[in-house]
Chains A and B, each alone.
Chain A
Amino acid sequence: MMSATLTPGMAALVLFGAFFALLVARVPVAFALGLASLPLLLIEDRLSPMGMFNEMFKAYNSFILLAVPFFLLTANLMNVGGITERLMRLSRAMVGHFPGGLAQINILLSVFFAGISGSSTADAASQGKLFIDAQVKEGYDLSFSIAITAVSAVLAVIIPPSILMIVWGGVISTSIGAMYLAGVIPGLLIGLAQMATVHAYAVKRNYPVYPRSTFVEFLKAALVSIPALTTPFIIVGGILLGWFTATESAAIAVLYAAALSIFYYREMNLSKLYACIVETGKLSSVALFCVGTASVFGWLMAYYQIPKALLSNLQGLGLGITGTGFLIAAAFLVVGCFLDAIPAIIIVGTVMQPLAQACGMHPVSFAIIGIVSLAFGLVTPPYGLCLMISCAVAKVPMRYALKDTMIMLIPMLAVLCAIIIFPEIPLILPRLVAPELLK
């Protein structure tokens, strides 16, 4: 065993103390994680700050993370290439006549979008531009419009494909195909819970309704959208059949979206394409840079055996499978308030995994509980990326839309509780389609 200069408790104090102090000073999260790691690298004889870059290099030098820019590029191509517009028409024909029509369309479009792109931040950014202004013009409250755009965006990482599931599969080695299938039912349940919430809001506040579309209109919209809607089947099917790996499937999504935009919907040109690529590069890079410094932070935690010290306290509690489920969800929800989801998987996912294993929880159930909790973290303050992006689109501070977001989270949390209490819910679909993946 290696012996460290500091005890786990002291190392944890330095790491977390410095991290939170830097956050309060409004240092960007990526830099705060790197700087908080610095004192330990300097104190410890065996370590050097150069090790930080080696650790970052190792984090980036992984084929898995390539999925991040690919899914963002897919989303951007969908938006400028006319795919999003076609899907919006279809959503309108399907749910426009429900109370709160436009907000219902907002949710359904997120479900479709989730089936093609695996990035929630891309969803929040594009639908923020698409819906927030439009909803306010039709008489919806601004805070409601921001909140529903942000909370519906989290579906993108729960319904396959999903960046988070690919990263989870890489870090905690769980079958990505199984997680994809397992995410479908919880994702749709959360979508339904959101639609019910909108319904309640709409009835209470008298939000507008669109006239019901005729069946012919619906059929037209559906026919035009079919090529786009087959994407999730190509991706999930291709992975299950072993045609390509999860990361390669993200590249397929890019090629397919590009082909549809250029040859089928014909709304792509070179300057649009360049803008798409630049946007993708910037957004994925700042997110991934943070993954690098978070890996250093997580690696130091492992070096000082902080997870082990934490776990020895928790294992004494003797929780059952449900208790452990709630503990895991709580841990991810709290961490999700302060960290982006990918770094959270790297730092916390590996800590919780032995705990889930000890109580006999299925690895796929564990993954879904973790990912759904982390997805909710995308809209919880102070660091909820989807809520931050939606508020930025509307040009208001985050606290403006906080109350409505919290109200909308309650039914979503109820779905999470259901998944924890009945861990079989996510396993239904993988059992039916590909039982061999669950072994």
Chain B
Amino acid sequence: MTKFLNVWQKVLTWVMATAVAVLIVPVSIQIFSRFTSLIPAYIWTEELSRFCFIWMVMLGATIGLRERLHFDVDVWPKLTPRRDALLRIVSNVFVLAYTGVMIWWGIEFTKFGWNQTSELADLPMWLIFIAWPLTGISWLMFLVEAFVRDLDLYRRNVALAAGEFA
């Protein structure tokens, strides 16, 4: 499972990097077409950059969950490894709840955009909206991995603590 997720994460990272790199192109075209007549002033540049941008955000947020990049507020004093694992499990239960929302209503959201097309380039909107349920599904896989790891950590540290008392 971890091996598969490693590969999956690499793929997601690569696609996200492509989105970032592509982002700069339409914006540059937009600026330069204003000053030269070499490139026509395309109307779709702004829309294309916005759509790349949305995909970048969702992909980055997907990877961010596995790499624990999403910032949290730490109000707790220094915790023992066991309590730390327990708190991670608790917070991940809430993240799981949000993941459920992303998948369930994300699918509804995609269906909602099924027959819509974008204003300028006439792209089908579900291509964008589907980012939400897909993010949710990736999160679900990453969360299962995290739960297994944290439960294991918790159990081992319980055994350790019991050993100290014996």
Q: Is the CB of B95 within 8 A of A31?
A: yes
Look across to chain A and name the residue whose beta carbon is closest to the beta carbon of B125. A57
Find residues 250-294 in chain A having any chain B CB closer than 8 Å to their own CB: 251-252, 254-255, 274, 277-278, 280-286, 288-290, 292
Question: Which chain B residues lie closer than 8 Å to A70 at the CB level?
Answer: 23-24, 27
Binding site for A on B (CB under 8 A): 13, 16-17, 19-21, 23-24, 27-28, 30-31, 34-35, 46, 49-50, 53-54, 56-61, 63-64, 67, 69-76, 78, 87-88, 90-91, 94-95, 97-98, 101, 104-106, 108-109, 112, 128-129, 132
Given contacts A28-B70, A53-B105, A54-B109, 15 further A-B contacts (CB under 8 A): A22-B94, A26-B72, A26-B73, A27-B91, A27-B94, A48-B105, A49-B105, A62-B50, A281-B13, A281-B60, A285-B58, A288-B57, A338-B73, A382-B74, A388-B71
Q: A338 CA to B23 CA in the complex, in Å?
A: 31
Q: Is the CB of B90 within 8 A of A25?
A: yes
Identify B128's interface contact among A32, A38, A57, CB under 8 A. A57
Q: A38 CA to B90 CA in the complex, in Å?
A: 18
Identify A27's interface contact among B56, B72, B128, CB under 8 A. B72
The B interface is mostly helix, strand or loop, or mixed, namely helix
**Residue interface bits A23-44, CB-to-B below 8 A is 1, else 0:** 1111111111011001000000
Q: A66 CA to B78 CA in the complex, in Å?
A: 38
Q: A23 CA to B87 CA in the complex, in Å?
A: 12
Identify B23's interface contact among A27, A66, A243, A290, CB under 8 A. A66
Look across to chain B and name the residue whose beta carbon is closest to the beta carbon of A35. B98
Q: Is A63 an interface residue (CB 8 A)?
A: yes
Chain A, interface residues (CB within 8 Å), range: 35 or more
Q: Is A85 an interface residue (CB 8 A)?
A: no
Q: Is the CB of B112 within 8 A of A50?
A: yes
Q: Is the CB of A49 within 8 A of B101?
A: yes
Q: A260 CA to B60 CA in the complex, in Å?
A: 28
A334 to chain B, nearest CB (A): 14
Question: Which chain B residues lie closer than 8 Å to A338 at the CB level?
Answer: 73
